[in-house]
Structure 1
Amino acid sequence: MEGPGPVTTQPDLLYSEEEEALRAAVRDLLTDHCDAPGVIARTESDAPHDLAAWKALADGMGLAGLLVPEEHGGQGATHREAAVVLEELGRAVAPVPFLTSAVVATEALLACGSADLLAELASGRRVGALAVALNIAPGAAHKAVRQEGDLLYGELTGIADAVVADVLLVPADDGVLYAVQAEAVTVTPQVSLDLTRPVATVTLDGAAGRPLGEAAPAVRRALRAGAGLLASEQLGLAEWTLTETVRYLKERKQFNRPVGGFQSLKHRLAQLWLEVVNLRAAARNAAGALAADADAEVAVAVAQAYAAPVAVHAAEEALQLHAGIGMTWEHPVHLYLKRAKADSLAYGTAGAHRAALAGLVDLQAP
Structure 2
Amino acid sequence: MSVSFSEEREQLRAVVREFLADVSGEDAVRASMTTATGWDPAVWRALADDLGILGLGIPEELGGVGYGFAEIGVVAEETGAALLCAPYLATVTAAQALLAAGDDAAASDLLPGLAAGTVATLAVAEADGRWEAGSVQATAERAAGGWRVSGTKTFVLDGATAELVLVAARTGAGIGLFAVDGAADGLTRTRLATLDQTRRQARLDLAGVPARLIGTEGEGWPAIERAIRLAIVALAAEQVGGAGRVLDMAVDYAKTRVQFGRPIGSFQAVKHKLADVLVEVESARSASYAATAAAQRPDDPEFALVTSLAKAFCSDAYVHAAAENIQVHGGIGFTWEHPAHLYLKRAKSSRVLFGDPVHHRELLASQL
Distance 1:136 1:223 in 2: 14
In the alignment, what sits opposite 1:131? 123
In the alignment, what sits opposite 1:111? 100
User: Is the CA contact (8 Å cut-off) linking 2:80 and 2:239 kept in structure 1?
Assistant: yes
Structure 2 length as normaliser, TM-score? 0.91
Distance 2:199 2:135 in 1: 20
Moved over 6 A (4+): none
Question: In the superposition, relative to structure 1, how do residues 145 and 96 fare at CA in structure 2: closer, same or farther (>3 Å)?
Answer: same
In the alignment, what sits opposite 1:315? 322
Task: State the superposition RMSD in angstroms.
Answer: 1.7
- For the pair 1:19 / 2:5, whether they are aligned, the reply is no
Distance 2:134 2:83 in 1: 29
Query: Which segment is superposed worse, 85-94 or 58-67?
Result: 58-67
In the alignment, what sits opposite 1:180? 180
User: Is the CA contact (8 Å cut-off) linking 1:170 and 1:180 kept in structure 2?
Assistant: yes
Question: In the superposition, relative to structure 1, how do residues 158 and 268 fare at CA in structure 2: closer, same or farther (>3 Å)?
Answer: same
User: Is the CA contact (8 Å cut-off) linking 1:161 and 1:198 kept in structure 2?
Assistant: yes
Q: 1:200 aligns with which of 187, 195, 202?
A: 202
Alpha-carbon shift at residue 140 of structure 1 (Å)? 5.0
Residue 76 of structure 1 aligns to a residue whose secondary structure is coil
- For the pair 1:70 / 2:75, whether they are aligned, the reply is no
In the alignment, what sits opposite 1:218? 223
User: Is the CA contact (8 Å cut-off) linking 2:38 and 2:198 kept in structure 1?
Assistant: yes
Alpha-carbon shift at residue 132 of structure 1 (Å)? 1.6
Alpha-carbon shift at residue 47 of structure 1 (Å)? 3.0
- Can you list the C-alpha shifts for 1:120-153, whole angstroms capped at 9, x where unaligned? 11121x1110012399666553324222332222
Superposed, 1:154-169 pairs within 5 Å as 154-169=151-166
- For the pair 1:303 / 2:310, whether they are aligned, the reply is yes
Question: In the superposition, relative to structure 1, how do residues 74 and 323 fare at CA in structure 2: closer, same or farther (>3 Å)?
Answer: same
User: Is the CA contact (8 Å cut-off) linking 2:32 and 2:38 kept in structure 1?
Assistant: yes
Letter in 2 for 1:133: A
Q: 2:35 aligns with which of 28, 41, 45?
A: 45
Superposed, 1:316-355 pairs within 5 Å as 316-355=323-362
User: Is the CA contact (8 Å cut-off) linking 1:137 and 1:349 kept in structure 2?
Assistant: no
Distance 1:137 1:247 in 2: 39
Letter in 2 for 1:148: E
Letter in 2 for 1:243: D
Structure 2 gaps, min length 5: none
- For the pair 1:83 / 2:73, whether they are aligned, the reply is yes
Distance 1:173 1:330 in 2: 46
Query: Which segment is superposed worse, 16-25 or 293-302?
Result: 293-302
% identity of equivalent residues: 41
Q: 1:149 aligns with which of 128, 142, 161?
A: 142
Residue 147 of structure 1 aligns to a residue whose secondary structure is strand
- Can you list the C-alpha shifts for 1:263-287, whole angstroms capped at 9, x where unaligned? 1100010111011111111000100
In the alignment, what sits opposite 2:275? 270
User: Is the CA contact (8 Å cut-off) linking 2:96 and 2:227 kept in structure 1?
Assistant: yes
Distance 2:240 2:305 in 1: 18
Distance 2:212 2:141 in 1: 13
Residue 177 of structure 2 aligns to a residue whose secondary structure is strand
Alpha-carbon shift at residue 12 of structure 1 (Å)? 5.1
Distance 1:169 1:30 in 2: 28
Residue 228 of structure 1 aligns to a residue whose secondary structure is helix
Distance 2:244 2:363 in 1: 27
Residue 352 of structure 2 aligns to a residue whose secondary structure is coil
User: Is the CA contact (8 Å cut-off) linking 1:133 and 1:160 kept in structure 2?
Assistant: no
Residue 160 of structure 2 aligns to a residue whose secondary structure is helix
Distance 1:12 1:152 in 2: 41
Alpha-carbon shift at residue 29 of structure 1 (Å)? 0.8
Letter in 2 for 1:340: A
User: Is the CA contact (8 Å cut-off) linking 2:124 and 2:131 kept in structure 1?
Assistant: no
Distance 2:223 2:130 in 1: 13
Letter in 2 for 1:121: L
Structure 1 length as normaliser, TM-score? 0.91
Distance 1:36 1:14 in 2: 31
Distance 1:62 1:164 in 2: 21
Question: In the superposition, relative to structure 1, how do residues 14 and 353 fare at CA in structure 2: closer, same or farther (>3 Å)?
Answer: same
Distance 1:268 1:284 in 2: 25
Structure 1 gaps, min length 5: 1-10, 362-366
Distance 2:157 2:366 in 1: 28
- Can you list the C-alpha shifts for 1:274-307, whole angstroms capped at 9, x where unaligned? 1111111100010010011322111111111211
Query: Which segment is superposed worse, 318-327 or 11-20?
Result: 11-20
